[in-house]
Amino acid sequence: MERLRRKFEHARSFVPAPVVETSPNAEIGIIGFGSSHWALTETRDQLLDEHKLSTDYLRIRAFPFSPDIADFVRSHKRVYVVEQNRDAQMFSLLKLDLDTDLVPKLRSVRLGLAVLDYRGGKTTLCAGCGHNAISERIIDAMYEMGVHPERVAKLSGIGCSSKSPAYFMARAHSFNSVHGRMPSVATGAVLANRSLMALGVSGDGDTASIGIGQFVHLMRRNLPIIYIIEDNGVYGLTKGQFSATADLGSKLKTGVINELPPIDTCELAISLGATFVGRSFSGDKRQLHTMLKAAIAHRGTVLLDVISPCVTFNDHEGSTKSYKYAKDHDEPLQEINFVPAFEEIAVEYDPGTTFEVTMHDGSRLRLRKLEEDYDPTDKIQAITRLNQAKQKEEMLTGVLYVNTQSPTFLDMLNITDEPLATLPPSAVRPGREVLEQVMAELS
């Protein structure tokens, strides 16, 4: 460790010095790097012309940081670290590198897009369909987390729910697969390019009926994906037949009673190995929004089962997936708060009443317990509590299970950081010796 530290310190003297531009009497400093340069140059001119505010600017050119950076921070009252990285990595690195007395001077600014850049086509779903509300929450969460749409791969199957990726993030990649086959397409996409953020949107029919085989194998792999089930208990697109998540005894509009027990997709996902599992309701704006932001910060399989009423075929008396039933039976496990890594933590919490989870990117998920003994890292407890909820006819919502320790499928397979399509032939073709060895083994 000591040797590594010395090496690192030695490297500092070799890195190219940062470029510094100063203005007379500037008390404000700006640190930037890479492609933010021209945006910053324009902003500095604007600040000077329109607000008579002069600023100094330091452009980082290499890592490890040159000692000039500490001098720059020291000589300014406030320093803004501007970057295009949604996780504010440069800001975090500077906080680690600088002397602690300099850290309070730093502020993080992430160059982002407008919320309009996260919109999609006009919805063709029925007015009042729960799926539309979920699309809105996805737009808000992605925008607030600063995820660039071009980094996202939207994947779906067939159904009203599976149509909904067309109604958000028009600039993201998108693949509308065959009924129930989204998991295999998602797996291929993520393995081929691990820099993509996979967002799967499916229905209860698409997932728990025709797609159940693919679903269970996805859940056991911990592939990094956010998998949302827009759960209305029916096949909305084909005129409202019961799906496999419909509750025992629930009634169709035609009067038909469901006599089969439901598949609980959350229980299944937890027992199979998904590492972030939650249930929410499309009508609970705040809970769903917060849960989606935490899902974005998670690295591994996220399964969110979102009760999403079908106003056309399953919103009547006797349905257990209607707006009224969901509102009357919603039993939240926690009050969920999420503090992204790029934001300062302003409010302290009492560990006796709040369960805090540090996510992979340094964000904090804070779960203020509404059920005192509930521990969302305890798999057995999660499954037991879900079964109790079933007996008590509760719609249990919140973060049911979270595990930030398990390796992802990509780690297990040791998948390279570069997209496979961009690897040079020398990296993907076996050498002559390898081929000769194979031939020898076969002869």
Ligand X SMILES: Cc1ncc(C[n+]2csc(CCOP(=O)(O)OP(=O)(O)O)c2C)c(N)n1
State the residues that interact with Mg ion by CB under 5 A. Answer: 203-205, 232, 236
Q: Which of 149, 159, 165, 398 binds ligand X (CB under 6 A)?
A: 159
Nearest approach, Cβ of residue 226 and ligand SF4 (Å):
20
Q: Which of 179, 220, 285, 360 binds ligand X (CB under 6 A)?
A: 179
- Cβ closer to ligand X: 203 or 278? 203
Strands of 364-369's sheet, edge to edge? 334-339, 364-369, 354-358
Compare residues 205 and 273 and give the one whose CB is closer to Mg ion. Answer: 205
In terms of CB distance, is 108 or 322 closer to ligand SF4? 322
CB of 282 to ligand SF4, least distance (A): 10
Query: Under the criterion CB under 6 A, does residue 237 sit at the interface with ligand X?
Result: yes
**Which span (109-117, 212-220, 306-314, 405-413) binds ligand SF4, by CB under 6 A?**
306-314
- Name the residue nearer to ligand X (CB basis): 87 or 230: 230
Q: How far is the CB of 162 from ligand X (least distance, A)?
A: 6
Distance CA 142, CA 55 (A): 31
Q: Which does 126 bind (CB under 5 to 8 A by kind): ligand X, ligand SF4, Mg ion, none?
A: ligand SF4
Q: Which does 79 bind (CB under 5 to 8 A by kind): ligand X, ligand SF4, Mg ion, none?
A: none
183 binds ligand X (CB under 6 A): no
Of ligand SF4, ligand X, Mg ion, none, which one sits near residue 129, judging by CB under 5 to 8 A according to partner kind? ligand SF4
Question: Which residues are registered as beta bridge partners of 173?
Answer: 153
Total residues interacting with ligand X, rule: CB under 6 A: 18
**What angle, rounded to 10 degrees, do the helices at 182-192 and 212-219 form?**
40
Segment contacting ligand X by CB under 6 A, of 116-124, 200-208, 325-333, 372-380: 200-208
Among 82, 125, 226, 365, interactor with ligand SF4 by CB under 6 A = 125
Distance (Å, whole) CA 279 – CA 131:
15
Residue at shortest CB range from Mg ion: 203
243 scored as a contact of ligand X (CB under 6 A): yes
Alpha-carbon span 240 to 254, nearest angstrom: 10
Helix axis angle, 130-144 to 285-297, nearest 10°: 50
Rounded CA gap, 443 and 102, in Å? 68
Residue 238 binds which entry of Mg ion, ligand SF4, ligand X, none, CB below 5-8 Å type-dependent: ligand X
CB 118, CB 168: distance < 8 Å:
yes
The Cα 80–Cα 58 span in angstroms is 10
Q: CA 298: distance to chain centroid? A: 6
Count of residues that bind ligand SF4 according to CB under 6 A? 12
Residue 236 CB, shortest distance to ligand X, in Å, is: 3
Q: Give residue 392's Cα distance to chain centre.
A: 32
Only segment of 234-242, 294-302, 356-364, 422-430 that touches ligand X (CB under 6 A): 234-242
Which residue stretch of 79-87, 125-133, 219-227, 350-358 sits at the interface with ligand SF4 (rule: CB under 6 A)? 125-133
Q: How many CB atoms lie within 10 A of CB 187?
A: 19
What are the φ and ψ backbone dihedral angles of 150, each rounded to 5 degrees?
-65, -15
Pairing of strands 55-60, 19-21: antiparallel
Closest CA to 273 of 91, 405, 151, 152: 405
Cα angle at 319 between 316 and 320, to 5 degrees? 135
* Element of type H or E holding 216: helix 212-219
Number of residues written out for the chain: 443
Is residue 109 involved in binding ligand SF4 (CB under 6 A)?
no
Tokens of 57: 């600017």
> Would you count residue 53 as binding ligand SF4 (CB under 6 A)?
no
Q: By CB under 6 A, name the one of 33, 72, 215, 313 that touches ligand SF4.
A: 313
CA–CA separation, 42 vs 95, rounded Å?
26
- Binding-site member from 160, 269, 341, 399 for ligand SF4 (CB under 6 A): 160
Run of H or E residues at 54: none
* Closer CB to Mg ion, 113 or 212, in the complex: 212
Q: Which one of ligand SF4, ligand X, Mg ion, none interacts with residue 206, CB within 5 to 8 A by kind?
A: ligand X
> Do the strands 234-235 and 395-402 form a parallel or antiparallel pair, or are they unpaired?
unpaired
Q: What is the DSSP string of 188-209?
A: HHHHH-TTSEEEEEEEHHHHHT
| Chain residues in the site for ligand X (CB under 6 A) | 158-161, 179, 203-206, 210, 230, 232, 234-238, 243
